[in-house]
Structure 1
């Protein structure tokens, strides 16, 4: 349903100016906005593009002159990007999932389904599973034996929750998210080549060829409240104890969290990151896209790893890391600058050698 400018501003805790009774039915970029849409012009760089669109109202930056921009109304929040969180929530059209339980869903008679739960076509809910009130289970999802989903869960299509996994309130999983597959755990009867290489730091591998025996995953996954799991991302079950994800942590697409890992609160694991087994990641950590973290490490609170960082040893709290192998970002940048200077250094040394050679010949 459309909202007035006044209603939107009130929901965002922002100031509204001008024709606050204008009805808004959507949002758009400034150059593409139509008269019934709210233009997202959150900084002065959008000044020119506003004139190319047809918006009558916009979300503007602090200090913007909305009248000089040719607008009839404006919303000015304290932090425009943060306001986008509330605004997009208001305007989200959803996925069109139906209400109630679809006739094609297969639900074990011992499963506990709370009030106001939507379960889509071709879903499977196994014995003893519990789904909290107000949850939405999209098409083709699987909820395993005795798994627990807290209130307000929102599972997009084709999400898998493995047996015995325990998930808190307001969990969101994007298409293809997997919680609770077995961990990647295998062992050889004698010391393997990989173990030997790790212990020797790269000595020649003389271990005999051996078959791998599977270590089963007896633990599950425990996830706190307000966690989001991206598309095609995986959280493996623990071997003996559970793999754990803290409250408020957000996991991007194609991320791998290995068995026995403990991930803290309000941590971001960005696209294609991977955390190997039994590693502990602290609170408020950010792992940039394609960050790789080795096994059995500890990453302290508030650590930030830039994109593509490969962490091979534990990192103390508060560090900003970059590179392969990961070093402090300031060190990595200095090293990079030094590498860029190497060609000139080689030329200078070559010229100096040539000069010395000529001098020697002249004697």
Structure 2
């Protein structure tokens, strides 16, 4: 079990130590559940009231906190408690699952595949024709990587993920369990006789940049003609749908159950709230934010925050909601 002294924790987060605690710290925990030997976080004043009844030995706190630790406990003051906690969680992270052999005997690796040095391929995984894996790629059990796909250095692919043919994936990516990359897009048209539907095939691919993380059970469909693209540093939550030919800029965030229809464009740093839906062929420009549960049916200017269904400027929508409440009281 990993453990740290309070002084070591102070050094890790580059904080200021207040108080005197000799306990060895073996785990982080939320303030209500923390025990002796735990470090917790007080990120803003609304959590300060919980400290009196907390059993935590140490708290990472924001610089402006007004309370003091008790005897035998300590605070570590930092400018940004959330970023400090990210450092701590990294320090306390348990070891990754163990690979007894680099390539498990039950894995199927096509003879034409190129597997870089340091790669690990788990049980029952499939690596198809002309696939290229860079260095130190980790493929956990029961993953499929189909023909002509490329995966960059240090990328991690968790169990159940399917990477379809011709996908291009960058370095240092993480794909959590049961991600689907490069499946057919959703396209149908009424048949000429009006008695059925004609499937529109999608023959493009998916291109994913460096440092992208995709949550469990999310789907990124391939392009109809060219590519569905995710730029460097994008972070995609669980249960997210990204439709065919959508293009995401750098460092976009999409929260759980949100979705992009086909041919949506996101600029750099766009944030999409949970369960938000974006209509096809809409452009959301750089730095814009879409509130949770919103429905976006038209372009969003750079830096704007939109909410509601249909989504509009957040300040305008708030006025509408206030007006509706007043109307309901009359």
Is TM (by shorter chain) over 0.5?
A: yes
Query: Shift in Å at residue 222 of structure 1?
Result: 0.4
Aligned partner (choices 255, 258, 262) of residue 240 of structure 2: 255
Contact between 1:66 and 1:73, CA under 8 Å: does it hold in 2?
A: no
1:226 matched to 2:227: no
- Deviation readout 1:95-142 (Å, 9 max, x if unpaired): 524252222222112222222222222211112212222222222111
Between stretches 79-88 and 112-121, larger displacement belongs to 112-121
Query: Shift in Å at residue 17 of structure 1?
Result: 4.7
Counterpart of 1:238 in structure 2 is 223
Contact between 2:60 and 2:85, CA under 8 Å: does it hold in 1?
A: no
TM-score under structure 1 normalisation?
0.83
Instruction: Give the match's secondary structure for 2:320.
Output: helix
Counterpart of 2:281 in structure 1 is 296
2 and 238 in structure 1: CA distance in 2 versus 1, 3 angstrom threshold: same
1:317 matched to 2:299: no
Counterpart of 2:29 in structure 1 is 28
Q: Give the number of the structure whose residues are more often helix, by fraction.
A: 1
Counterpart of 1:333 in structure 2 is 318
291 and 52 in structure 1: CA distance in 2 versus 1, 3 angstrom threshold: same
Query: Shift in Å at residue 249 of structure 1?
Result: 0.8
Counterpart of 2:147 in structure 1 is 145
- Deviation readout 1:282-321 (Å, 9 max, x if unpaired): 1111111111111112111111111111111112212211
110 and 17 in structure 1: CA distance in 2 versus 1, 3 angstrom threshold: farther
CA distance in 2, matches of 1:341, 1:117: 63
CA distance in 1, matches of 2:308, 2:23: 51
Counterpart of 2:76 in structure 1 is 75
Contact between 1:180 and 1:235, CA under 8 Å: does it hold in 2?
A: yes
136 and 11 in structure 1: CA distance in 2 versus 1, 3 angstrom threshold: farther
Aligned partner (choices 280, 283, 288) of residue 268 of structure 2: 283
Between stretches 83-92 and 221-230, larger displacement belongs to 83-92
1:62 matched to 2:63: yes
- Deviation readout 1:238-295 (Å, 9 max, x if unpaired): 0111100011111111111110110111111111111111111111111111111111
CA distance in 2, matches of 1:329, 1:22: 48
Unaligned runs of 5+ in 2: none
Query: Shift in Å at residue 328 of structure 1?
Result: 1.0
Residues 150-189 of structure 1 aligned to structure 2 (within 5 Å): 150-189=152-191
Contact between 2:21 and 2:57, CA under 8 Å: does it hold in 1?
A: no
Instruction: Give the match's secondary structure for 1:179.
Output: strand
Q: Give the number of the structure whose residues are more often strand, by fraction.
A: 2
Query: Shift in Å at residue 66 of structure 1?
Result: 7.7
Counterpart of 1:211 in structure 2 is 196
Contact between 2:19 and 2:69, CA under 8 Å: does it hold in 1?
A: no
Structure with larger Rg: 1
Counterpart of 2:9 in structure 1 is 8
CA distance in 2, matches of 1:301, 1:238: 22
Aligned length: 328
Contact between 1:50 and 1:69, CA under 8 Å: does it hold in 2?
A: no
Counterpart of 1:197 in structure 2 is none
Instruction: Give the match's secondary structure for 2:106.
Output: coil
Instruction: Give the match's secondary structure for 1:24.
Output: coil
Between stretches 159-168 and 71-80, larger displacement belongs to 71-80
Contact between 2:138 and 2:156, CA under 8 Å: does it hold in 1?
A: yes
